[in-house]
């Protein structure tokens, strides 16, 4: 049975087209449609319900050691109020999930995981956690909203004093009060745009949504669904679990080297990553040369040789191009290489182009 997030009634009220996703009933789009929602985030601001995301707390004297043991990134020199991206590898060097870690005290970390992997992740964490760390899955107690776009600061500064707004990418403030509600806020997101992710108790979800909607009205804020979330992250070339990575694909193959600290003494999957050696495949960007649209899981050829497959693809509204991310043989990954993609039995030409497809002007 599909679950509802604390904001389900709001989505219906806002005219959301509800679909099942990762075990939750969520809006794929509102009345405005994916393209307008996508453009709002690039040019003004969008509001997303991301309450389906999973949250796990790590508490105790060995919390840091537990994270360093089970995740690929290194959290040793992390300051309080910082956020760090990581992969969690299995013993074979494949990805259990990708996630972000918030540090709120020397003995208190807050980890956000993909909704679809929540139960698998928690089981994996329980198996690998060190004595002296208490872990708890608190996903059901929280609502999470993402306020994303160039106007996000203008909107949030109507609701919070300046010292309560995180200013730098990947920073967080654990305790702020928005319209009487206790919230945690971070400068993070999954759109390639500046913005905030705000966590609050599940029962505050509806009120927080209405508060942000009202504050954002003068700045062109509109609600955005899963469709725009996917086109935005693809345009920004952010990997998505189940597409650019999975239980078999290694984080090095998908180009997440920055989050895999091979010089760290040890972590789950390190030995397998060493043994797998230098990756033979890599993640590239593709752009359709003539006409057509690429989708996920389409085979890629050079002459008659299969060299890989697409992992995500669509028509991206802001750059107005049909693009895809793909995992292909490194030999063919040079920019401007022409490949052919099998689109439902028809070969269409595509060109290797740089990632990301879009990056925000700073």
Instruction: List residues binding another protein (CB under 8 A).
Output: 17, 28-29, 33-35, 38, 227, 231, 291-293, 295, 314-315, 317, 322, 344
Please tell me whether residue 129 adopts helix, strand or coil conformation: coil
Question: How far apart are CB 23 and another protein at their closest, in Å?
Answer: 20
Q: Please, are residues 46 and 145 in contact by the beta-carbon 8 Å criterion?
A: no
Nearest approach, Cβ of 46 to another protein (angstroms)? 15
Tell me whether residue 334 is exposed, middle or buried, using C-beta atoms within 10 angstroms of its C-beta: 0 to 12, 13 to 18, 19 or more. exposed
Between 81 and 292, CB nearer to another protein? 292
Comparing CB distances to another protein, the nearer of 274 and 293 is 293
Distance in Å, CB of 291 to another protein, minimum: 7
Q: CB neighbours (10 Å) of residue 178?
A: 20
Q: Please, what is the minimum distance in Å from the beta carbon of residue 49 to another protein?
A: 18
Give the C-alpha separation, 63 to 76, whole Å: 11
H helices present in 44-167, as ranges: 63-70, 118-128, 152-156
Instruction: Tell me whether residue 198 or residue 323 sits nearer to another protein (CB atom).
Output: 323
User: Which of residues 145 and 322 has its CB atom nearest to another protein in the complex?
Assistant: 322
- Closer CB to another protein, 23 or 292, in the complex: 292
SS3 label, residue 117: helix
Q: CA-CA distance, 323 to 295, in Å (whole number)?
A: 9
Dist CA 187 CA 20 (whole Å): 28
295 or 351, CB closer to another protein? 295
* Smallest separation (angstroms) from another protein to the CB of 315: 4
Helix (H, G, I), strand (E, B) or coil at 281: strand
Minimum CB separation from another protein for residue 293, in Å? 5
> Do 312 and 265 form a contact (C-beta atoms < 8 A)?
no
Residue with tokens 């789009």: 29
Q: How far is the CB of 36 from another protein (least distance, A)?
A: 8
Burial class (CB in 10 A: 0-12, 13-18, 19+), 154: middle
Relative to beta strand 24-29, strand 3-4 is: parallel
Nearer to another protein, 195 or 227 (CB): 227
Beta carbon of residue 228, minimum distance to another protein (angstroms, whole number): 8
Distance of CA 33 to the CA centre of its chain: 21
Q: Name the residue nearer to another protein (CB basis): 34 or 44.
A: 34
Q: Nearest distance from residue 25's CB to another protein, in Å?
A: 15
Task: Give whichever of 12 and 177 is closer to another protein, judged by the CB atom.
Answer: 12
Q: What is the DSSP letter of 171?
A: B
34-43 and 226-235 are packed helices; what angle lies between their axes, rounded to 10 degrees? 50
CB of residue 72 to another protein, shortest distance in Å: 32
Cβ distance to another protein smaller for residue 73 or 231? 231
Q: Which single residue is written with the structure tokens 């509204």?
A: 317
Residue for token digits 């180009």? 255
Residue that is written with structure tokens 């992992």 in the block = 311
Q: Encoding tokens for residue 346? A: 């028809």
């Amino acid at each position: 049975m599909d679950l509802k997030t604390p904001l389900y009634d709001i989505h219906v009220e806002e005219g959301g087209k509800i679909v099942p996703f990762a075990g939750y009933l969520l809006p794929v789009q509102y009345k405005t449609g994916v393209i307008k929602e996508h453009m709002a985030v690039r040019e003004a601001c969008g509001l997303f319900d991301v309450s389906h995301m999973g949250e796990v707390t790590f508490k105790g004297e060995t919390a840091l050691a537990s994270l360093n043991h089970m995740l690929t990134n290194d959290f040793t020199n992390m300051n309080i109020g910082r956020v760090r991206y990581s992969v969690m590898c299995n013993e074979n060097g494949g990805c259990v999930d990708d996630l972000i870690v918030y540090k709120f005290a020397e003995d208190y970390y807050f980890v956000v995981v993909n909704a679809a992997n929540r139960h698998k992740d928690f089981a994996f964490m329980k198996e690998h956690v060190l004595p002296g760390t208490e872990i708890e899955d608190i996903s059901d107690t929280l609502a999470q909203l993402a306020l994303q776009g160039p106007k996000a600061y203008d909107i949030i500064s109507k609701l919070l004093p300046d010292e309560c707004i995180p200013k730098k990418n990947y920073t967080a403030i654990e305790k702020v009060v928005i319209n009487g509600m206790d919230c945690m806020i971070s400068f993070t997101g999954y759109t390639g745009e500046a913005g905030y992710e705000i966590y609050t108790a599940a029962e505050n979800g509806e009120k927080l949504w209405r508060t942000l909607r009202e504050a954002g009205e003068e700045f062109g804020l509109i609600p955005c669904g899963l469709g725009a979330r996917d086109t935005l992250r693809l345009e920004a070339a952010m990997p998505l679990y189940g597409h650019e990575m999975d239980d078999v694909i290694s984080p090095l193959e998908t180009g997440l080297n920055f989050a895999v600290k091979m010089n760290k003494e040890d972590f789950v999957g390190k030995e397998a990553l060493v043994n797998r050696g230098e990756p033979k495949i890599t993640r590239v960007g593709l752009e359709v040369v003539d006409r057509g649209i690429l989708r996920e899981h389409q085979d890629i050829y050079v002459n008659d040789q299969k060299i890989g497959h697409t992992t995500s693809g669509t028509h991206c509204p802001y750059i107005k191009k049909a693009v895809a991310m793909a995992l292909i043989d490194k030999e063919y990954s040079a920019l401007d290489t022409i490949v052919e993609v099998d689109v439902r039995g028809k070969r269409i030409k595509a060109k290797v182009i740089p990632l990301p497809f879009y990056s925000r002007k700073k």
